[in-house]
Amino acid sequence: MQIPRCNLDSKLNWKPHITYVRQKFRDNCPKVFPLIARNSKMSLENKVLIYTAILRPALTYASPIWVYAVKIYFQQIDSSQNIILRKISRARWFMRNEDIRHALKIPPIKEFIKNIAKSFFGNLTNIDNSAIKDLDFYRPDLNTRRPRAILL
């Protein structure tokens, strides 16, 4: 079994990691496709449950630390989510992605990642690890190019 990893490139913009996550998501989709396909007899609620329990965690792996990721990577993750939600809901080409997410009661992926990041960074103060407690508290500088506050 291969251990998942976080890949960084020389500019620290998370491109290899997000590419790895999207590929892993694309590899997992065919495994559950007979259950969530258009012609599946499974109810829509169960199809959404399969997405939220199996596919979305693969898509948002290590997402709290993507705070410095470039906007285009969030768009790529969002498009992956939109494609699978269209298949689940049997949506036609003229239906808007926003309306599909609203009907299925699934938040946009960026909003979901924001909630995970808030929870993750909020719980850092409760960790007993002395090395983490010795770190300085990060205060984002809004004058920098991509501050951490972009997600929070």
Q: Residue 119 is encoded by which pair of tokens?
A: 């929870």
Mean pLDDT of all residues belonging to the chain: 83
| Cβ–Cβ under 8 Å, residues 138 and 148 | yes
Exposure string of 38-69, with b = 16+ CB inside 10 Å and e = fewer, is eebeeeeeebbebbeeebbebbbeebbebbbb
- In this predicted structure, the answer to whether residue 108 has a pLDDT above a threshold of 80 is yes
- pLDDT per residue as tens digits for the range 19-54: 899 999 999 999 999 999 888 899 999 999 999 999
Summarize pLDDT for 116-143 with one digit per residue, the tens: 888 887 887 788 888 777 776 666 666 6
In the chain, what are the domain boundaries?
14-134
Q: If DSSP codes are grouped into helix, strand and coil, which group holds residue 20? A: helix
Q: Which residue has the higher pLDDT, 87 or 1?
A: 87
